[in-house]
Chain A
Amino acid sequence: MKLAYRVNSPTVAHEHIDGETMVIHFETGAYYNLQGSALLIWDQVVAGTSTDDVVAAVHRTFQGDPGEMRRSVLAFLEDLAREHLVVRVDGPAPARSHAATNAPVPTTPFEPPQLNKYTDMQDFLLADPVHDTDEAGFPIPKQQHDAQR
């Protein structure tokens, strides 16, 4: 079994623009910007790459300590999962992708991936989950509910 992550569709949308990727979570209202190594990792998740192969892609692209890069990648994937942007999947081992033996040596220094999060839109969303409904089967409006407290 191979560990992998996939985008938490349909509640997450993403768009690549001007060298960065914007990710939006519709239910929480949070949105994120990804660049550099974070962008590479995200693109690998979108492509359905296994976790080991995501690490391999980072090794091929950036220059740095392999162990540190692996730890950073795994931690970042967990961050993405914690934000409900990706979900873990366990699946059959995909065909191994072999890097070309004459692949260029990476020269870009590795910078740990950052998840830049913005929460200013969350004020628009009502955070309270719905528990009670009236006799018609609909939730009591928040304004009415608050007034009754």
Chain B
Amino acid sequence: MPFTPIVRTDKHRASTYNSRFEEIEFSLGLLPSLARIVGWTDVSGLNEISIAGIASTYEALLFTCLLHDGNTLLTFNDVVPFDPNSLYSRRIMLNNGTTGFDTNNGGVSLEVAASTAVHQCPTTLWVTNIQGAVKHWHMSNAAVRDAGSGLGDFRQTGGLCIDPGAITRINVLNTGDPWSTGSGYALYGLRG
């Protein structure tokens, strides 16, 4: 209880009440530093996510999603995929003990596996230094398959996005079948 209760002997004047309000205001300093930009949003039946107008007050972003099916690419500031200037580079590490490196991916590939419709693939993507010239991002995701087609993939990916502009927009484009029931996403901002 972050305030001192008023007692009958306290004088009925402004300072009595203001001091309690100030105690509660001090507690409000615990307001979240991880702010919700877009709350959990259902994307079943859709092929695209478009988030614009991301404020410049954030130092980092957390994008989380649960998606089923489709070849899915996430880009910052709506840069055209497969841009020959190769703005994205990454190293990926897979559960099968292999690793890959590329500098021409055109975006952050979410690599959502196609499988039984009820299976969704979770992803967490941290993007830091979003106001700077080189964004550093890290992603964990799992492409779960049903037992009949074998084990799924678990991946860790680290990467860079070289774009002189601050990130103000995120687009996610699915060029395959629309996302199934249960797919969704959320975006949070970590304040500087």
A and B, one complex?
A: no
Residues of A within 8 A of B (CB): none
